[in-house]
């Protein structure tokens, strides 16, 4: 289980770093995707995920004001944040409360970008044995930047997928039945139901049916699909990135689910080796995973 905790957070960071250099490229442009060219710099996806983990650890659970503070403290603009999230962080910095800031963007509707889902992995770990609480906390943690229900639902589905993968659900019927029964949003349910018929589909069909963009409902189910379609970390994450579009984020979300299922040792060593290891890099992310594990299971 400790290896799965590490695998989740490192898997997410690795997927982010691998996808980052080709973010915004089309599938055709990436069709000569080469796994041996690895830069190892992560982006906003991982920087925000680190903030989620740090806050859960410091507060022994969810605390919105503290998590918002962690996001601000860790923020580096050059890691390429989404415009909505950048605007919310600016409002928080000006002193607007974490409950209010996210409701002030996109004409008051709030964001349905995938920025809440891409950082949610630590919540999937921390609340893995209580899906009702996990779902509720995923919503509250999303609200810091994403107040639109579809942004929150995408994050809850992602957190739940990670919890199920930790418990060993890859059997597609079991996992998909669980998620389909749980979600209350049609756009997600309809895409989950489609997965079964898409298992041999070509890339273009998958992109059209499930999406590869930076909205939550055009990326979260794509990551779940990439996990289910293959039987190992490398193939799933390479495939997810090869779809093009929001490659770092779909890579990160696929990497998190795969890491939760297969564990750290299943991530290609050359990918882990290449991951940056500066102040808050690989070693620190492993430490965060171990702390979450220690707090949760009370040992070592
Ligand atoms: O969700 P968010 O943090 O973006 C994450 C993406 C990832 O790909 C990261 O790697 C990083 O590159 O950014 O940032 P938002 O700006 O809140 O949402 C992402 C995009 O979704 C927005 O820029 C919009 O294009 C779209 N979007 C919306 N469009 C119209 N109306 C999100 N919410 C809305 C909306 O309410
Ligand atoms: Mg990014
Ligand atoms: Mg992205």
CA 154-24-231 angle, 5° bins: 60
Question: Angle, to 10 degrees, between the axis of helix 64-74 and the axis of helix 44-59?
Answer: 140
Q: Is the pLDDT of residue 170 over 90?
A: no
pLDDT at 265: 98
C-alpha–C-alpha distance, residues 268 and 194, integer Å = 30
Least confident piece of the model among 165-174, 202-211, 238-247: 165-174
Nearest 5°: CA angle at 11, between 169 and 86?
115
Answering whether pTM is above 0.95, one says yes
The pLDDT value given to residue 199: 96
Q: How far is ligand 3, taken at its centre, from the CA of residue 116, in Å?
A: 11
Q: Is the pLDDT of residue 44 over 70?
A: yes
Q: What is the 3-state secondary structure of 21-47?
A: HHCCCECCCCCCCCCCCCCCCCCHHHH
Of all protein residues, whose CA lies closest to atom 14 belonging to ligand 1? 82
Using CB distances shorter than 6 Å, the residues near ligand 1 are 43-45, 80-85, 106, 109, 111-115, 148, 214-215, 246, 248-249
- What is the Å distance from ligand 3's center to 110 Cα? 18
pLDDT (average), residues 242-250: 98
Alpha carbon of 240 to ligand 3 centroid (Å): 12
| Nearest ligand 1 atom to alpha carbon 88 | 17
Q: What is the pLDDT of residues 195-218, one digit of tens each?
A: 999 999 999 999 999 999 999 999
Question: pLDDT-derived band of residue 109, with 50, 70 and 90 as boundaries?
Answer: very high
Alpha-carbon torsion (54, 147, 156, 267), positive or negative: negative
Burial 212-248 (b: 16+ CB within 10 A, else e): bbbbbbbbbbbbbbbbbbbeebeebbbbbbbbbbbbb
How confident is the prediction for the chain on average, in pLDDT?
96
Whose CA is closest to atom 6 on ligand 1?
A: 82
Q: Give me the percent of the chain exceeding a pLDDT of 70.
A: 97
The residue ranges of every structural domain in the chain are 2-297
> Which range is least confidently modeled, 26-40, 141-155, 258-272, 279-293?
26-40
The answer to whether residue 35 scores a pLDDT higher than 70 is no
CA distance 94 to 148: 22
What is the DSSP-derived secondary structure letter of residue 288? H
- Enter the CATH code of domain 2-297: 1.10.4080.10
- 2 Cα: distance to centroid of ligand 1 (angstroms): 33
What confidence score (pLDDT) does residue 85 get? 98
């Amino acid at each position: 289980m400790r290896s799965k905790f590490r695998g989740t957070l490192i898997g997410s960071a690795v997927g982010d770093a691998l996808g980052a250099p080709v973010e915004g490229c089309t599938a055709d442009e990436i069709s000569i995707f080469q796994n041996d060219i690895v830069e190892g710099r992560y982006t906003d996806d991982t920087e925000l995920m680190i903030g989620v983990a740090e806050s859960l650890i410091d507060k022994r659970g969810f605390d919105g004001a503290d998590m918002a503070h962690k996001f601000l403290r860790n923020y580096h603009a050059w890691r390429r944040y989404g415009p909505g999230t950048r605007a919310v962080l600016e409002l928080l910095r000006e002193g607007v409360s974490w409950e209010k800031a996210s409701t002030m963007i996109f004409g008051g509707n709030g964001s349905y970008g995938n920025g809440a889902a891409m950082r949610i992995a630590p919540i999937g770990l921390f609340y893995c044995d209580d899906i009702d609480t996990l779902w509720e906390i995923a919503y509250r943690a999303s609200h810091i930047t994403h107040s639109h229900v579809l942004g929150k639902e995408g994050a809850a589905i992602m957190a739940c997928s990670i919890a199920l993968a930790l418990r060993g659900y890859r059997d597609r019927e079991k996992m998909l039945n669980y998620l389909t029964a749980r979600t209350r949003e049609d756009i997600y349910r309809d895409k989950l139901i489609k997965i079964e018929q898409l298992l041999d589909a070509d890339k273009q069909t998958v992109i059209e049916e499930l999406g590869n963009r930076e909205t939550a409902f055009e990326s979260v189910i794509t990551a779940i699909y990439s996990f289910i379609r293959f039987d190992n970390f490398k193939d799933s994450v390479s495939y997810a990135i090869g779809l093009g579009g929001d490659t770092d984020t779909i890579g990160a979300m696929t990497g998190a689910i795969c890491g939760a299922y297969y564990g750290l040792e299943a991530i290609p060593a050359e990918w882990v080796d290449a991951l940056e290891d500066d102040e808050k890099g690989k070693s620190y992310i492993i430490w965060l995973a171990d702390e979450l594990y220690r707090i949760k299971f009370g040992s070592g």
